[in-house]
Amino acid sequence: MILRDVQKNKQKTFVIVSVFFLFIALFIYFLSALVFDNVIFAVIIGITISLLFSYNAYYYSDKIVLKLNKARIATKEEYAQLNHILEGLCIAANIPVPKLYVMEDTALNAFATGRNPENAVVCITTGLLEKLDKNELEGVIAHELSHIRNYDILLQTIVIVMVGFVVILSDAFSRGMLRGDSDNDNKVGAFVAIIGIIFLILSPLFAELMKLAISRNREYLADASAVELTRNKDGLISALKKLTTDDEELEQANKSSSSLFIVNPLVKERKKKNSLWSTHPTLDSRIERLQSIN
């Protein structure tokens, strides 16, 4: 079951990176063709820039996510118990010990990121550390380690970086459209205006479709895998119950990265019922499934 899910995640990642590569290559090609009026030069620029973006998205997406969330390393001196819990669970999961980070935030949340188990990161909020006991922390960390073992982290992080880039492009072109009519007196300005309109219309839909590539079932599977690691479903159930009652929104919360966290960091979105556009199953449904495990 786990091997099949890992393979599916790798296949989805390959497809998403390929689509992103073609999208950026075509976009840069058309823009370069208008500017330089040289097809061969435009092709070279389009492919080169697209390769650079795709390479950075694959190898540095975890660092981008950590920086966006203002995370810092959780040293063994400062967070001895947390590091001890992580190391013990990694032995049970038979995976390398990921780097451990914390976010200075009173909200209760956590996430894992990276491209594979050898280059992975687990990050939790200081609020989670303060309000959860040892068994509950074990449940949360085991959940994140399950995402690492199942290669969910690769797919999640790649999607977040891609969506973020599309949003940035949309914003850049919409701002370019609003600078004035003088830019639109030539074909480059007209092209920018047209692309800006297209991005404004399509970027929200594109972002949602990218996130839908990540199945919500991954949360149920990570919960069940966490119970296998800890052999204690009560710890994770208790942690999720505390997360259910937490009304504090993560300071760095945004829609593009919401699918990465153990629970949706946007409180209003978290309290909605399951829908086609939800990044997570409801906490009540996750708790119910955990309770049914024998």
146 vs 58, residue with greater confidence: 146
pLDDT confidence of 184, banded at 50, 70, 90? very low
pLDDT confidence of 181, banded at 50, 70, 90? very low
What is the residue type of 228?
Answer: E
pLDDT value at residue 61:
78
pLDDT value at residue 134:
95
Report CA-CA distances (Å) from 265 to 91, 105, 114: 29, 11, 19
pLDDT confidence of 50, banded at 50, 70, 90? confident
Here the tokens at position 165 are: 């880039």
pLDDT value at residue 95:
94
CATH 3.30.2010.10 fits 71-153+217-291, yes or no: yes
190-198: average pLDDT = 61
Contacts of residue 211, defined as CB under 8 A and 6 or more positions apart, other chains included, come to: 159, 163, 259, 279
pLDDT value at residue 268:
73
Q: Over the stretch 10-30, which tens digit does the pLDDT of each residue have?
A: 777 777 777 777 777 776 676
Closest Cα partner for 265 from 247, 290, 281?
247
Q: Catalytic positions, please? A: 144
Q: Over the stretch 72-114, which tens digit does the pLDDT of each residue have?
A: 999 999 999 999 999 999 999 999 999 999 999 999 999 999 8
Per-domain boundaries in the chain? 2-68+159-212, 71-153+217-291
pLDDT greater than 70 at residue 255: no
24-47: average pLDDT = 72
116-145: average pLDDT = 95
163-186: average pLDDT = 56
